[in-house]
Amino acid sequence: MNNNLFETVKLGNLELQNRVVMPPMTRSRTIEGDVPSDVNAKYYSERASAGLIIAEATQISLQGQGYSLTPGIYTDEQVKGWKIVTDAVHAKGGKIFLQLWHVGRVSNHHVNGMQPVAPSAISAKDTNVYVMKNGEAKFLATETPRELSVEEIHEIVKDYVSAAKNAIKAGFDGVEIHGGNGYLIDQFLRSNSNKRTDEYGGNISNRVRFVLEVTKAVVAAVGADKTGVRLAPFITAKDMGDPEILSAITLAAKGLNDIGTVYLHLSEADFDDAPEIPDSFRIDLRKAFRNTIIATGRYNLKRAQYMLATDWVDMIGFGRLYIANPDLVERFKNDGPYNKLRAEGWFGGNEIGFNDYPSL
Ligand SMILES: Cc1cc2nc3c(=O)[nH]c(=O)nc-3n(C[C@H](O)[C@H](O)[C@H](O)COP(=O)(O)O)c2cc1C
């Protein structure tokens, strides 16, 4: 079995330099209009030796935004800003996808002037969003969303499609549909946040309908080879505990496999809320989904190599290690030394904690 972390690997039509993934990480450093710029190009291009970079969650519409300063991909300026980033990454031989994001209920009207929307009018308990008002950063509780009509759900599917087309226009090698971490698609998947009685709720096959419709539409627009999906079977943050989630995710994985989705990216931890993942789930998932599986969540070099040897996953993402180590691949090859992640500058701010971690 050829599953060395450092060897080239095919992803659809792309040949990747290695099996190391930089997973999507919100860094909240855009300029006016939620537009990325040179600082984002520097940050991503310094990490271009990853086999695949998945750029941070990016709202597909103003309605899909839940935090201040996160980038969008629905205006011409945003497309132009992202083009600076993709050009810089490609110039260094890297490959980069964009994560497409609709937050659903994880928002507050102070972010975008709108009441949040969701499958059902149920708020996420103990969940806050980051809001920047008049130069001041605050965390505000999420607001009770209003329930989406079926017509609005169809409109959101179209928003994903135009965002995906814009991402390709901006030079991305593909898109990742964000179906995890408690945001809109995840809210449809789970019985606690989805109490709908129409074709989008009520049983597991109805709850997976939305993610499959979005993915089918995006695949039709930009191609299956350019469409990945992220799902989060084990997270419970943002009030997402759900007894039926594993069956829903396995069913979704089968559907995504049938659509030809190029990869399934498991979000195994949204920070440190990470339980042990049973081998039985990984084996079931491998049976359900035959293309590339990426796993991210608290991996280090040793755990990554162990997991690749099982053949249950094909590529491994390293989040916080990538914040602190732009040249993570080179450092892995020597097994260190690693820069220590500092507490400052994860979300928002200037170059500190963003573009000031040194390479070897
Ligand atoms: C600062 C920060 C921002 C994140 N933003 C996103 C995001 O935009 N989209 C997403 O799917 N996950 C996001 N995550 C989760 C990461 O992709 C990853 O799953 C998590 O950090 C666990 O991996 P790690 O233990 O290797 O850091 C974020 C994590 C961090 C630390």
Query: Which distant-in-sequence residues (6+ apart) come within 8 Å of 350 by Cβ?
Result: none
183 is catalytic: yes
Cα distances (angstroms) measured from residue 76 to each of 28, 60, 79, 194, 268: 19, 13, 5, 34, 34
Q: How far apart are CA 183 and CA 124, in angstroms?
A: 10
Q: Whose CA is nearest to atom 25 of ligand 1?
A: 298
With tokens 């594993």, the residue in question is 246
Q: Give SS3 for 22.
A: strand
Q: Give SS3 for 67.
A: coil
**Positive or negative CA dihedral for 216, 220, 221, 225?**
positive
Q: What are phi and psi of 222, to 5 degrees?
A: -125, -10
Nearest CA to 69 out of 79, 58, 81, 55 is that of 58
Atom number in ligand 1 closest to CA 267: 19
| Ligand 1 centroid, distance to 136 Cα (angstroms) | 24
Strands (E), 79-187: 96-101, 117-118, 128-133, 136-141, 146-147, 174-179
Q: Does domain 9-104+148-333 have CATH number 3.20.20.70?
A: yes
Dihedral of the alpha carbons of 54, 302, 315, 9, in degrees to the nearest 10: 110
| Ligand 1 centroid, distance to 226 Cα (angstroms) | 21
With tokens 């300026």, the residue in question is 77
Out of 44, 74, 160, 183, the active site residue is 183
Q: Give residue 106's pLDDT.
A: 98
| Ligand 1 centroid, distance to 144 Cα (angstroms) | 25
Q: Give residue 1's pLDDT.
A: 46
Q: Give SS3 for 174.
A: strand
Q: Say how many Å lie between the first and final Cα of the chain, rounded.
A: 31
Q: What is the pLDDT along the chain (360 residues), one digit of tens a residue?
A: 457 999 999 999 999 999 999 999 999 999 999 999 999 999 999 999 999 999 999 999 999 999 999 999 999 999 999 999 999 999 999 999 999 999 999 999 999 999 999 999 999 999 999 998 887 889 999 999 999 999 999 999 999 999 999 999 999 999 999 999 999 999 999 999 999 999 999 999 999 999 999 999 999 999 999 999 999 998 888 998 898 899 999 999 999 999 999 999 999 976 666 678 899 999 999 999 999 999 999 999 999 999 999 989 999 999 999 999 999 999 999 999 999 999 999 999 999 999 999 999
Q: How far apart are CA 272 and CA 52, in angstroms?
A: 23
Q: Spell out the domain ranges in the chain.
A: 9-104+148-333
Establish whether residue 26 lines the binding site of ligand 1, counting it when its CB lies within 6 angstroms of any ligand atom: yes
For a mutational test of ligand 1's pocket, the pick from 20, 26, 70, i.e. the residue with the most ligand atoms closer than 8 A to its C-beta, is 26
Q: Does pTM surpass 0.85?
A: yes
Q: Give residue 275's pLDDT.
A: 76
Q: Which two tokens stand for residue 97?
A: 């996808």
Establish whether residue 101 lines the binding site of ligand 1, counting it when its CB lies within 6 angstroms of any ligand atom: no
- Give me the helix-helix angle, 245-259 and 279-288, nearest 10°: 30
Task: Check: CB of residue 355 under 8 Å from CB of residue 42.
Answer: yes
Atom number in ligand 1 closest to CA 268: 19
Taking the CB of residue 260, how many other CB atoms lie within 10 A of it? 16
Establish whether residue 230 lines the binding site of ligand 1, counting it when its CB lies within 6 angstroms of any ligand atom: yes
Nearest CA to 67 out of 117, 142, 156, 155 is that of 142
Cα distances (angstroms) measured from residue 297 to each of 119, 138, 252, 300, 329: 27, 27, 20, 9, 17
| Ligand 1 centroid, distance to 348 Cα (angstroms) | 15
Establish whether residue 318 lines the binding site of ligand 1, counting it when its CB lies within 6 angstroms of any ligand atom: yes
Nearest CA to 221 out of 161, 157, 273 is that of 161
Q: Give residue 324's pLDDT.
A: 98
Query: Which distant-in-sequence residues (6+ apart) come within 8 Å of 6 by Cβ?
Result: 18, 19, 20, 329, 332, 333
